[in-house]
Amino acid sequence: MTDSSPLLQVQDLQVHFDTPDGVVKAVNDVNFEVKKGETLAIVGESGSGKSVTSLAIMRLITGRNAGGKILFENQNLLEKSMDEMRAIRGNDISMIFQEPMTSLNPVYTVGWQIIEAIRTHLNETYKQAFERAVEALDLVGIPEPRARMGNYPHQLSGGMRQRVMIAMALSTEPKLLIADEPTTALDVTIQAQILQLMRRLQREMSMSIIFITHDLAVVAEMAQRVVVMYSGNVVEEAPVNDLFKHPRMPYTIGLMRSMPGRHGYKTANNRLEIIPGSMPNPLQLPSGCAFHPRCRFMEKGTCTSTPPKLEEIEGNRLIRCARKDEVKQQLQEEKLKQEKSGATHAI
């Protein structure tokens, strides 16, 4: 159950990196909020700015913040000292990273690492922290948790290591959990178990989640609201059901049409489509809309001259597209044509 009040508000966030070839605008004027108890998904291709945004929230980024605010419980995290951030990070806000083998220290037992996280953020004795760590491992479904406390990361499977990372992140009972593609390296069976586990723990702990992924099928299972990013910008934001039924931004439409399975798009000949080309070089962004070189709805002048603004449309949605009305009309015409030809689930 979600609370209407926002726990986190990201306002006009900009993160830039200085390179020998120029300034890379990895995140550019990003805005979104996360309500209490809500799961917000951030999706997009590699290089779209998803992970940089999450690291900026945690103040773990090595780039420079060129502007904006990150309000957590109405306190701007960008104005906090490093000592203040250490008290928040891992306590009120925790993060699960994509690959647990690069996040867990190979020379310490998993039990020691969870205990260390607990004692860093909570005023507990070693014995209390040990018992809390055992409870955390049991909570995430690890069998014989007391015995597993003595295992090293390499002695556990990929799914077990990811559960350890979740246990560590949840051991301090955070208000916000940031999950950066936590199931990407896992097989589909383990992935389903991890997602089910996260949904259950969220219900039990009334926790908010930012779920970062490129997998739209995962988004359909996890999120209430979705932010789509491209080339450092938010290009669409919508409730998850609305986004899947009626994507409006051409990039989102392309993602949907390239996705197999029951959430994806099928043409009359049952073939998936692709988005041509690749993410632009951040040092040489195209003029106008950054997506226009890959967009099948592109119109010279309209799409190539001025970068479009993120605008609110019907249904409490946001979209960045200068031709949004024309795209909507064309999609409706295509849907009618698909229905006449016998295709289903056309976007």
Residues 237 and 306 occupy one common structural domain = yes
Query: Which of 131, 147, 173 is the last residue before a domain boundary?
Result: 173
Clarify whether residues 161 and 307 are in a common domain: no
pLDDT value for 232: 94
User: Looking at the whole model, is its pTM more than 0.75?
Assistant: yes
β-strands 6-19, 22-35 pairing: antiparallel
Confidence of residue 49 (pLDDT cuts 50, 70, 90): very high
Q: Which of 28, 130, 33 minimizes the C-alpha distance to 73? A: 33
Residue 317, pLDDT above cutoff 90:
yes
Query: Which of 173, 190, 206 is a domain's end point?
Result: 173
User: What's the pLDDT score for residue 261?
Assistant: 60
Same domain? 251 vs 163 = no
Distance of alpha carbon 133 from alpha carbon 248, whole angstroms: 45
172 neighbors 91 (Cβ within 8 angstroms): yes
* Predicted pLDDT of residue 270: 60
Cβ-in-10-Å burial (0-12, 13-18, 19+) of 316 comes to exposed
* Mean of pLDDT values over 263-281: 72
Same-domain pairing of 293 and 195: yes
> What residues contact 300, with CB distance under 8 A and at least 6 apart?
none
Same domain membership, residue 234 and residue 105: no
Q: Is the same domain home to 187 and 326?
A: yes
Give the pLDDT band of residue 217 (cuts 50, 70, 90): confident
DSSP SS3 for 103: helix
| Same domain for 198 and 73 | yes
Distance CA 48, CA 254 (A): 15
- In degrees, rounded to 5, the angle at the alpha carbon of residue 15 between the alpha carbons of residues 121 and 43 is 80
Do 62 and 86 fall within a single domain?
yes
C-beta separation of 41 from 223 below 8 A: yes
Q: Are residues 23 and 48 located together in one domain of the fold?
A: yes
- Structure token digits, residue 59: 């103040």
Contact 252, 258 (CB under 8 A): no
Q: Apex CA 185: angle with CA 16 and CA 179, to 5°?
A: 50
173, 207, 237 - which closes a domain: 173
User: Going by C-beta distance under 8 Å and a sequence separation of 6 or more, which residues neighbour residue 338?
Assistant: 267, 268, 346
In a shared domain, residues 297 and 212: yes
Cα-Cα-Cα-Cα dihedral of 237, 243, 249, 250, to 10°? Answer: 140
Q: What count of other Cβ atoms lies within 10 Å of the Cβ of residue 2? A: 15
Between 190 and 147, residue with greater pLDDT: 147
pLDDT at 180 over 80: yes
What is the model's pLDDT at position 235?
Answer: 97
The band of 204, judged by pLDDT with boundaries at 50, 70 and 90, is confident
Q: Taking residues 261-282, report their average pLDDT.
A: 71
Q: Is the backbone of residue 290 left (phi > 0), alpha (psi -120 to 50) or beta?
A: alpha
Q: The domain spanning residue 86 has which CATH number?
A: 3.40.50.300
Contact 211, 181 (CB under 8 A): no
User: How many structural domains comprise the chain?
Assistant: 2
Cβ–Cβ contacts within 10 Å for residue 340, how many?
A: 9
pLDDT > 80? residue 181: yes
Q: Token pair 């909020």 is at which residue?
A: 33
More confident call, 197 vs 30: 30
Distances in Å between the Cα of 15 and the Cα atoms of 12, 23, 176 are 10, 10, 21
Give the pair of three-digit tokens for residue 117.
């996280």
Give the model's pLDDT for residue 5: 78
Domain that holds residue 162: 101-173
Q: Backbone phi, then psi, for 235, in 5-degree steps?
A: -110, -20
Strand 39-43 to 208-213 pairing: parallel
The structure tokens listed for 259 are 């996705």
pLDDT of residue 170: 86
Average pLDDT value for residue range 266-286? 80
pLDDT at 195: 86
| Dist. CA 347–CA 344, nearest whole Å | 9
Residue 176: pLDDT over 80:
yes
Same domain, 278 and 201: yes
Distance, in Å, from the CA atom of 40 to the CA atom of 223, rounded to the nearest integer, reads: 6
Q: Is the pLDDT of residue 187 over 60?
A: yes
pLDDT digits (tens, 9 = 90+) for 63-99: 676 689 999 999 999 999 999 998 899 889 999 887 7
> Given CA atoms 63, 66, 68, 69 in this order, what sign does their dihedral have?
positive
pLDDT score for 196 = 86
Percent of the chain with pLDDT over 90: 58
Distance CA 78, CA 345 (A): 44
Looking at the fold, whether 224 and 320 belong to one and the same domain comes out as yes
Specify the pLDDT at position 66: 66
Q: Is the pLDDT of residue 344 over 90?
A: no
